[in-house]
Structure 1
Amino acid sequence: MTQLLQDKDYVVYFSDCVEETNHDPLSAPAAQTPGSIDPKLEKKKPNENVSLADNSLLVDISDALSEKEKVKFTVHTKTTLPEFQKSEFIVVRQHEEFVWLHDRYEENEEYAGYIIPPAPPRPDFDASREKLQRLGEGEGALTREEFLKMKEELEDEYLATFKKTVAMHEVFLQRLAAHPVFRNDSHLRVFLEYEQDLCAKPRGKMDLIGGLNFGFGSGESKSFSKHVYEQTKQTSFFLTNLFRNSDPIPKKPKQADVMRSMTTTTDEIYLGATVRDVNDFFEQETTFLQEYYSHLKEAVAKVDRMTTKHKEVADAHIRLSSCITQLATREQPPTERFLTRAAETFDKCRKIEGRMASDQDLKLADTLRYYMRDAHAAKAVLVRRLRCLAAYEAANRNLEKARAKNKDVHAAEQAQADACAKFEQLSARAREELIDFRTRRVAAFKKSLLDLAELEIKHARSQQELFRKSLQVLKECQ
């Protein structure tokens, strides 16, 4: 495993940073400090837990390179599916290309009844970089020992954030690869096997405000998807047409998330007020998911505040240890030994508190945050179903008008039958997806809380043993 962290340029080369991951962030590895990483670790094998029943398409992120403006992910794929040109691929992708892939699934009408895995969050290392910069500027006001300890803490925080970013991008790809329908999408094959830069761009802001007028996707995107499917074996040829009319990258990518959220919320409110859903199951699911999402959002904010305060407690041990060390240099030898041992105890306690805060962030905060986004994706399925129901009701009204005027009755009947079939098919798929989502999230939270409890017990025992030995040493110093 190779990793490099430079204070000046903040460049990280990170190899094998994600161990075996399941389809949720619960199995993302706990952050390792630079000192705890074994440089002689062997190259890890591709993830074998993508699907316990089918290993025909395995995807993992083996390496990642973080720079100031972007993160490059090395995506490794092994497959036995005949649709792919080779059995193994290694490509380099950026975050924008992950978002592009997610958008292709969202705009495809065939996937309207499925819960589309949420796009991975955009890499954000600004906070860690700003702390490192402020630490460098204030180096003169700190002792060398205090400076080195705080620098180590910030580097660990930066590395942990980087690891979680890689894990979230890997989880997104693994969920697509494990899904029996999503894995067959032509855009996923292009993403996994085309070795050159895709130059993919996320949807522009005007595309995100499509709402009811755009439905599930334009006719141009449908014909384009068909073109991609037919030309899969000639990758280098069709990629030119694939991205010729791509939208420019938004200058502020976070605005795209706001636009997407506003569009979904607006559609949800409008359709909820104008379309009457008589299906008790979906009506209950809509009510539940709205309340569930609100609770998760509130819980994420509170857990983030908790973990932040816990990290502040760990950081306070640095100053406390440093102050006691300085005080020890001015005392008599017996007192100096006592204070030195006390400072060492606080320094060791700081490391345990830091690990506890990191575990809470990984096992609890990240799990809540991931399933908040997954719940939003489930709400989007219900919104798409309401759109389809609205189209079905509009087809019924058009049929009544056609019969009243005795004009184009056959065409109206056909449109009404197609709308009915589409709505029933979408409803059946959505029901299965929502039931699966319920089972998946319960199992995920159970695993997360059990893992967190075991880690808390482990750290508490370590802290108890530390205090026991420290008290014994301090008594000997008296």
Structure 2
Amino acid sequence: MPPSFYSIENSNNHLDVEKKSERSETVDLNDNTLQVDISDALSEREKVKFTVHTKTTLKDFAKQDFSVVRQHEEFIWLHDRFEENESYAGYIIPPPPPRPDFDSSREKLQKLGEGEGSMTAEEFKKMKQELEAEYLATFKKTVAMHEVFLCRLANHPIFRADTNFRVFLEYEQDLSVRGKNKKEKLETFLRSFSKTTDEILLGSTQKDVDEFFDKEKNFLLDYHSLLKDATLRADKMTKAHKDVADHYIKISSCLLEMATADTNQLERFATKTADIFEKARKIENRVSTDEDLKLSDTLRYYMRDTTAAKNLLYRRLRCLADYEAANRALEKARAKNKDVHAAEWSQHQACEKFEQMSAKGKEELIDFKVRRVAAIKKNLIELCELELKHANVTIPFSFSLKSS
């Protein structure tokens, strides 16, 4: 499920993460045997250091309460270990958290500084406050997405027992994980290209023998496309509210200048109207933030989670193709009466692997449906409640503007 973002307060980017009751995980909330959270985060230049706090009663761990410091690359390393482990081929691997990206906020702050001379001091102050709030919101979301990734692993009955996950949580030293160099990035790209090509080829040539998985594949392809389109539209809507708020700053500043220059009855009207636009600006910003957290980020998260589900279907289809190839190899071996025992063993192994993957995959896909429906429903209800709350505050402003 997508994150419910929680408050992080400190002007130095040294954040103390407070859990809110609104936060939810798609797991058994009564299971407290392994609890993982990010209790603190520190931004240092281009890097973010996350303090991962673990509380557990599992005997596999040396301590019951401990913390380690991790960077984004180590989260990616952990995700890759799960992706590469064939034992997890029948499971939906939680999507990795996105890389921390504060370049956009920094560029906006830099441009604002360059344009300081073209605006009033009050206008510059408000614009700077808005950009700083945007930077902090981005930081909060970054921390939340990294925590959600860990919580998904910690609350999964199989993933929580993984050795690499335990090392990630418990090993106090640096994991010595570095970013990929150019050669490794090229290799990753080529593997991704090969996988995509194989996926397209299998999709057009391999017929699925199970109607459930065939329907799931068609549904997820359409669903992912619709999620992508909905996310783009939600982002545009969020940006529109943000732009309105920025324009309210300019209108409010102009009205205040007018009030200062005029000494007649217009002064009172301009001052009061400027105050109304300032209040409206704060509400528009709040609306923009709420839509971003409750709608855009929910859609974006499930777009990535749907990709993880599609990867599961691809792995199963590849397993099915290998199983059918083993069947054909066995038929040839029997026809030639050569290497029959080896062919039978290979066919048995392929059959067993395919059946296990199908059983686990079906459970995972059903659980995925339950999780996403519950999470999207919850966030949409919360968004509607917030929209109504903001509307109830905005309406009186219109009447006060009319009466002024």
Instruction: Report the TM-score, using the length of structure 2 for normalisation.
Output: 0.93
Does residue 341 (structure 1) correspond to residue 321 (structure 2)? The answer is no
Q: Distance in 2 between matches of 1:326 and 1:67?
A: 40
Aligned pairs, number: 394
Q: Contact 2:8–2:18 at 8 Å: present in 1 too? A: no
Find 2:148's aligned residue among 171, 185, 199. 171
User: Residue deviations 1:228-272, cap 9 Å, x none?
Assistant: xxxxxxxxxxxxxxxxxxxxxxxxxxxxxxxx4x45533321211
Give the direction of change, closer, same or farther, for the CA distance of 1:444–1:130 in structure 2 (3 Å limit): same
How far the C-alpha of 1:206 sits from its partner, in A, is 5.0
How far the C-alpha of 1:16 sits from its partner, in A, is 1.3
Does residue 90 (structure 1) correspond to residue 67 (structure 2)? The answer is yes
Q: Secondary structure at the match of 2:135?
A: helix
Does residue 320 (structure 1) correspond to residue 251 (structure 2)? The answer is yes
Does residue 296 (structure 1) correspond to residue 297 (structure 2)? The answer is no
Find 1:64's aligned residue among 10, 34, 41. 41
Q: Contact 1:22–1:171 at 8 Å: present in 2 too? A: no
Q: Which residue of 1 aligns with 2:13?
A: 12
Q: Contact 1:18–1:163 at 8 Å: present in 2 too? A: no
Counterpart amino acid of residue 411 in structure 1: A
Find 1:359's aligned residue among 284, 290, 295. 290
Does residue 133 (structure 1) correspond to residue 110 (structure 2)? The answer is yes
Q: Contact 1:17–1:63 at 8 Å: present in 2 too? A: no
Q: Distance in 1 between matches of 2:336 and 2:8?
A: 74
Q: Which residue of 2 aligns with 1:467?
A: 398
User: Residue deviations 1:58-105, cap 9 Å, x none?
Assistant: 000111112331111111000010111111111111111111111100
Give the direction of change, closer, same or farther, for the CA distance of 1:73–1:429 in structure 2 (3 Å limit): same
Q: What does 1:206-217 correspond to in 2, within 5 Å?
A: 207-208=187-188
Q: Which residue of 1 aligns with 2:168?
A: 191
Q: Contact 2:10–2:16 at 8 Å: present in 1 too? A: no
Give the direction of change, closer, same or farther, for the CA distance of 1:339–1:209 in structure 2 (3 Å limit): closer
How far the C-alpha of 1:205 sits from its partner, in A, is 2.9
How far the C-alpha of 1:468 sits from its partner, in A, is 3.7
Counterpart amino acid of residue 171 in structure 2: Y
Q: Secondary structure at the match of 1:329?
A: helix
Q: What does 1:5-404 correspond to in 2, within 5 Å?
A: 5=11, 12-16=13-17, 19=20, 21-23=23-25, 51-201=28-178, 204-205=184-185, 207-208=187-188, 260=192, 262=193, 264-404=195-335
How far the C-alpha of 1:333 sits from its partner, in A, is 4.0
Q: Distance in 1 between matches of 2:253 and 2:381?
A: 36
Q: Contact 1:99–1:202 at 8 Å: present in 2 too? A: no
Q: Which residue of 1 aligns with 2:3?
A: none
Q: Distance in 1 between matches of 2:107 and 2:401?
A: 36
Q: Contact 1:363–1:449 at 8 Å: present in 2 too? A: yes
User: Residue deviations 1:309-335, cap 9 Å, x none?
Assistant: 110011100000001111111112432
Q: Distance in 2 between matches of 1:263 and 1:301?
A: 28
Q: What does 1:413-432 correspond to in 2, within 5 Å?
A: 413-432=344-363
Counterpart amino acid of residue 54 in structure 1: D
How far the C-alpha of 1:470 sits from its partner, in A, is 5.0
Q: Contact 1:352–1:459 at 8 Å: present in 2 too? A: yes
Q: Which residue of 1 aligns with 2:379?
A: 448
Q: Distance in 1 between matches of 2:153 and 2:75?
A: 12
Q: Distance in 2 between matches of 1:2 and 1:440?
A: 26
Q: Distance in 2 between matches of 1:408 and 1:207?
A: 36
Counterpart amino acid of residue 461 in structure 1: N
How far the C-alpha of 1:300 sits from its partner, in A, is 0.7
Counterpart amino acid of residue 155 in structure 2: A
User: Residue deviations 1:269-305, cap 9 Å, x none?
Assistant: 1211232212111111111100110010111111111
Q: Distance in 2 between matches of 1:207 and 1:393?
A: 29
How far the C-alpha of 1:2 sits from its partner, in A, is 7.6
Q: Distance in 2 between matches of 1:3 and 1:369?
A: 25
User: Residue deviations 1:119-151, cap 9 Å, x none?
Assistant: 011111111110001111111221110010000
Q: Distance in 2 between matches of 1:100 and 1:263?
A: 21
Q: Which residue of 2 aligns with 1:406?
A: 337
Instruction: Report the TM-score, using the length of structure 1 for normalisation.
Output: 0.79
Counterpart amino acid of residue 418 in structure 1: Q
Counterpart amino acid of residue 421 in structure 1: E
Q: Distance in 2 between matches of 1:275 and 1:181?
A: 30
How far the C-alpha of 1:465 sits from its partner, in A, is 2.9
Give the direction of change, closer, same or farther, for the CA distance of 1:349–1:264 in structure 2 (3 Å limit): farther
How far the C-alpha of 1:469 sits from its partner, in A, is 4.4
Q: Distance in 1 between matches of 2:149 and 2:19?
A: 13
Counterpart amino acid of residue 332 in structure 2: K
Q: Distance in 2 between matches of 1:96 and 1:23?
A: 24
Q: Which residue of 2 aligns with 1:245?
A: none
Q: Distance in 2 between matches of 1:209 and 1:176?
A: 26
Counterpart amino acid of residue 15 in structure 2: F
Q: Distance in 2 between matches of 1:129 and 1:18?
A: 27
Q: Distance in 1 between matches of 2:176 and 2:373?
A: 38
